[in-house]
Structure 1
């Protein structure tokens, strides 16, 4: 794309708007502004123009400013609770120390556009400038009510650090990775980490590039409040009716809720089944050794479990591991006195079992040693001893509502 052609033909530069929908209202709550250029009857995205390092910043700023003015003029006609997302990389935001851009926003505030409706969707990827000055500028913008969204999840090692420093109002997550079988599985685990982080720092999750129903379901299940993508609505030149998808989204969410309820009921039923079965075996072997207990459990759970052990309430292992190999069950005595209190939810679950005198079926997680997706059933066998039974992936797969 020739930059000079665009700069000499600015009358054919205009904004497109991609609607963003909310889970709680099932309606449009924002629009992302996207740059477009019409050439010989074709509508061309200006994304490459803004990402081209060979194009001077002042050229990019002039085109961007034009798009912002046109977009915000249109936004004056929107309901006052609908936000506008403006894409800004660090270089563009820092142009002339960010002051000309802020003055333009303040001019629209005088026209009636509250600045707390503006969301700056930023990226500091490949930024060679002073990050401290960049961060100070963002905090300065925030004093006017302007919100901050981090626009991409990259693999850079400092990404979590940057999120912690900026504490963005919105974390925007690209669901493109879900299309790949190779990255999709790991992406689930990474995303779970981001959902926890977002909750801790008070950020809202926005999922973009939703192109299929299963991606919408994934976003909903993983704590997404806001959704965006061609599956919902493509970018358009004019604003759409904000409740256009309300009934459709209600139906989708109803299906998602029904599916999750069935899975939760399956987990509850499985936990109750294990509770009854394990409790009976423990009572019958309460005067025996750990080895006697394990042998009795193996008879009942040979096709279900692959590891068993006993810990005290402080997490110190009191028994050997009983581990199932392809040739049968073996003792792993080297695990005696290892401590597992550092594991997430360990002590919380111990207290819960101690008070309720009832077993707990864990959520899904990846086993450290085998790498397989498993669940663990924990059970209080005495005042200070707790039994842990790791459930094999094969069993979970055969009862797919447990996955």
Structure 2
């Protein structure tokens, strides 16, 4: 027993700090504190309590508070932010152990003379003993005292939109696994796009962590990242204020990304102009017959081989023509199944309506989306004819060019 205690005493908690790079400011602006232990031989290893499900929130908080103090000592003379992890149960414990209006974590930060606004509390995605409403109330206390709030590991198996909506974090951290899968599978790119839209709607920044390659860096920036973290930028170290080496690696890659993106946008604009010119050559004739509208679909399919579908809706979004789908280079099929279906719930429909109000004389174009049935990216061209019917033309994007 004595030997075990002596061995325990020889353990030293050590915070490693991993740099966080700002795409906006083009430099390192923060560090995440990652707890380690150093044994008697000077070897660093993971803190065993962090992976032990039987460790109580109180014991975890004791360790985290010690690591916080050590981290604050390292960064107090800089202007950088410090990210620290806290489980949902630890958030509630902060409230329960508060003295007056001051939370324990705030006392520690004040003791080291660091402005609370420089500390970002990462709420981990561990399940907690309390409901989302209780967690949200605890997070709000942290926010009221000046702490920034991040939600960690969004995209992991345990993540849920309820917690994201209740907390409304200042920063959403995207899980490494989702990032890697997004490069390999189209479905994950859609998930990243969805998270990007959520971040915009609640006013959060996106931080992509676990970036280990140039490709992952480009994917993160393309997916809306304003903050970047990972081995490609810098590994966790005991602390170094040398930021220039990181900037020398990251900034040139960002310049390459933006250069390639501008070329991509120019290419997209040229493609859209070409399709619009072709579409403008067609008269948008419609004939009303009973409960449906008749058009000339063949004229559309002859225009360009990338055109896959054509249909017409009324002003409310109800489909009034058959659904015409390409079957081969020159043929198409008439599908009556969608007649009288309402498409106003689709994202592109009211964007189409808005664009028509702006410019009814020209064809409009939607943002690309992933079509499950075609298993390809699709964009929608739309225009209203003189009788008020909306023509929608779906084109697949040729991504090989």
**TM tier relative to shorter chain:** 0.7 to 0.9
Deviations 1:238-258 (A, max 9, x none): 123234433443322221111
> Offset of 1:325 from its aligned partner?
2.6
Residue of structure 1 in register with 2:310 after alignment: 308
Q: Distance in 1 between matches of 2:389 and 2:358?
A: 13
Q: 1:238 to 1:288 in 2, by over 3 A?
A: same
> Offset of 1:137 from its aligned partner?
2.1
1:132-151 pair list within 5 angstroms: 132-151=133-152
Q: Distance in 2 between matches of 1:398 and 1:22?
A: 32
Residue of structure 2 in register with 1:85 after alignment: 83
Give the conservation status (yes or no) of the 8 Å contact 2:368–2:379: yes
Residue of structure 2 in register with 1:44 after alignment: 45
Residue of structure 2 in register with 1:190 after alignment: 191
Q: Distance in 1 between matches of 2:184 and 2:143?
A: 35
Q: Distance in 2 between matches of 1:178 and 1:77?
A: 34
> Offset of 1:61 from its aligned partner?
3.0
Q: Distance in 2 between matches of 1:355 and 1:94?
A: 51
Give the unaligned 5+ runs of structure 1: none
Q: Distance in 2 between matches of 1:15 and 1:54?
A: 22
1:13-24 pair list within 5 angstroms: 13-24=13-24
Q: Distance in 1 between matches of 2:316 and 2:131?
A: 47
How many residue pairs align between the two structures?
388
1:4-403 pair list within 5 angstroms: 8-9=8-9, 12-39=12-39, 40-46=41-47, 48-79=48-79, 82-95=80-93, 97-99=96-98, 102-154=103-155, 159-180=160-181, 184-282=185-283, 286=285, 293-301=296-304, 303-325=305-327, 328-356=331-359, 357-367=361-371, 369-392=373-396, 396-399=398-401
Q: 1:175 to 1:358 in 2, by over 3 A?
A: farther
Give the conservation status (yes or no) of the 8 Å contact 2:69–2:108: no
Deviates more, 1:171-180 or 1:24-33: 171-180
SS of residue matched to 2:98: helix
Q: Distance in 2 between matches of 1:304 and 1:219?
A: 29
Question: How high is the TM-score relative to the length of structure 2?
Answer: 0.87
Give the conservation status (yes or no) of the 8 Å contact 1:76–1:112: yes
Q: For CA contacts below 8 A with separation 6 or more, give which structure has more relative contact order.
A: 1
Give the conservation status (yes or no) of the 8 Å contact 2:132–2:163: no
Q: Root-mean-square deviation (CA), in Å?
A: 2.8
Question: How high is the TM-score relative to the length of structure 1?
Answer: 0.87
Give the conservation status (yes or no) of the 8 Å contact 1:195–1:222: yes
SS of residue matched to 1:245: helix
